[in-house]
A and B are shown apart, each in its own frame.
Chain A
């Protein structure tokens, strides 16, 4: 804490965000909280034998509260507030003051936390009653296996003396055992241990993780067959082998948390191991430009799609990831016609390791509306089978997964849920490089808190739990294969939605 200012030094007018309550009757001054806090909130004053807290530094990550052996700590939003004002909220006043004191663009992490309508919570699912039997998923077969990639309009066979030969050569498709993939989170944005945990869990469960644009460390290339490798605007870590070990190559055009915005891994995060994987010198800013500079239009996208197909001998599906924006349906149609095999669409609530807050909270559209309109458009044009659709950004539980698939997705990407499974508490400080949970940091002291064996176990548990819940919901609907849910909007009804919203979602109102 600072009490003395130099002449001309600006005094900060900020209020603390969190209140640190230490219950004296429980605190044993073991100093665990002090060691656990990477932000330096807690300290021990030897003179007075007391624990102190600098609340200005507290981000509310709850690490100290969880680790405190006597549960002596309560961390909660700070009650101090300005005069109530529906227009000027505490957050808006604080942000403004922060900018007046720094002149900076406010960065943040994680996904948009503003109260745009969450359509998942206005959609209810169907269940079979009388006219159709529900299925008990624990005892009857229940299939979640999903194939991602382009499908043919029809198959051709040759009939040769009673033998039937498949003549059509299928397009490359990748098989996953549950329609849930881990979203792109690069090594650099997250710690090595967190990255490795995702790779291990995907490999164990039979699904895919996504490298983001941080490359794939050599020793993890053995997880290649479970990897979606990104080719993004910075082209970090992209070499021919990287492309060829992967299951899927993904061109990243945009991200739901920051549509139209590039990335920026600050130099201090480019540690030695990061520099090896990204193939840039240590300490250099890793700048990902806003656009891919070889893609300024749809035919340029087509150029890169086929460049990647050429580079991988047409053996892998190529995915294109875009942020959900206003003309997403038309854009998706163009992407399909440009030769993509998979389109991933990331909604406004998708997470990020770092983004300007003003972008995160104001640009893009909700994934529910985006996936519904894309699926509808592709069907109307008769090309829905030419691509697989992956919905991303804002999926919170298995019901959201089921609703996304019923709206038209083939599979979904989860980022934030996977992080939460590993320990994340959504403190939104990913961009600072400090993460007390060892996830979003390159500090070896912090990242070693995350044990890949244990974290991957947590992730596998999550996949297992959600998959079982999906089976329960499918069974209740009387469906025993995930493909019968895909685009099955009959299984959805809206509650509390306006006419235009029902129309975009392509669903009826409840009771209709």
Chain B
């Protein structure tokens, strides 16, 4: 094949965070995903859960998918060489669940040798994913984990015995791929460190975005455009330290005619953003939910070609493809809101909210 073939898919998304930090079980996220069943087609479902491993919260939790049992030895000797492994176990699963050809999943709580940090973990994850055939790290953050595979989301939840975990933030994904390698790694969420991304839509600018990210050292190997989202967010937010309010204006910038109407200061900033980060304009229809410890945000393309709705009930904050899914999960709400295209909706832990307010940010992004 010349070049590559990209997976196209479309989906149902859901996320919920308890902003007080209280932990709760998977019931809401699974109910919501089940409610949006027809947004997927049974060829992919997955979840990310935050705050689920309080006993090991300082260790990177590696969820590793193993396609054969032999490959585990290679993974473990690789991990022993590069990390201190404090705990290793097979992730409990229910083999009765209605899922398609499940591989084996193990989780390892690890600490990099020699005080190395995030970048080291990223590079080792990439190494496992690209060099050890049949092994794939599906999540690598601390005190969080991704559970995903080929099946309807509720079946994936059953397979991973998801009801046994408690987290303060959950995101879920139901997938409708237009081609079907039937590969468990291709399901969402996509994760690196504690970043998890679920995505609905197709990125028309994929070729442009991908080649720019390659120049920045990110190599898209998963054959899906969601990967572009994950790497773009990692580059802008983790490496360059930009807040979501600015990142939103890079991924989904205002139209030039809107910029032309702004005051001089804003015009200058927005023009600078558009020309500097032009290759990261994400074009085409998309909605994403991005989560990392302490916060979750949802955003769509700038002309809102994919749906999004957010809702609040007490400490709970929701983002979803459909309002009905939130209602199915939670019933009555204090507030439902549908943002304009390109306008992020953010749910943060209250303690983070205060910290965010302290950091000075240009008011044009308020």
Contact = CB atoms under 8 A, between A and B. Distances in A.
Contact of A330 (B179, B285, B306): B179
Interface stretch (B4-12, B87-95, B129-137): B4-12
A338 B179 CA distance: 12
B180 A333 contact: yes
B285 A377 contact: no
Contact of B178 (A296, A300, A306, A337): A337
B305 A329 contact: no
Interface in A276-334: 296-300, 302-303, 306, 327, 329-331, 333-334
A1 B39 CA distance: 62
B14 interface: no
Contact of A377 (B40, B179, B201): B179
A77 to B, nearest CB: 39
B317 interface: no
A295 to B, nearest CB: 10
Tell me the dominant secondary structure on chain A's binding face.
Answer: helix
B357 to A, nearest CB: 36
B14 to A, nearest CB: 14
B10 A297 contact: yes
A366 to B, nearest CB: 17
Interface in B1-50: 5-12, 38-41, 43
A17 to B, nearest CB: 37
A298 B178 contact: yes
Contacts of A337: 41, 43, 176, 178, 180
B306 A334 contact: no
A331 B178 CA distance: 6
Contacts of A334: 8-9, 176-179
A165 interface: no
A381 interface: yes
B41 A297 contact: no
A463 to B, nearest CB: 35
B200 interface: yes
A296 B307 CA distance: 10
Contact of A331 (B8, B39, B285, B306): B8
B179 A297 contact: no
A299 B39 contact: yes
Contact of B176 (A298, A327, A329, A330): A298
Nearest to B38: A302
A329 B9 CA distance: 13
A337 B6 CA distance: 18
B8 A330 contact: yes
B343 interface: no
B194 interface: no
B10 A300 contact: yes
B155 interface: no
A298 B8 CA distance: 9
Nearest to A331: B178
B303 to A, nearest CB: 10
B312 interface: no
Interface in B106-160: none
Residue with the highest number of chain B CB atoms closer than 10 Å, among A302, A329, A334:
A334
Contacts of B201: 296-297
Nearest to A330: B179
Given A298-B9, A298-B10, A377-B179, 6 more contacts: A297-B202, A299-B40, A299-B200, A335-B178, A337-B176, A381-B180
Closest 6 pairs between A and B when the two form their complex, measured CB to CB: A334-B178, A297-B10, A330-B179, A298-B10, A296-B305, A296-B285
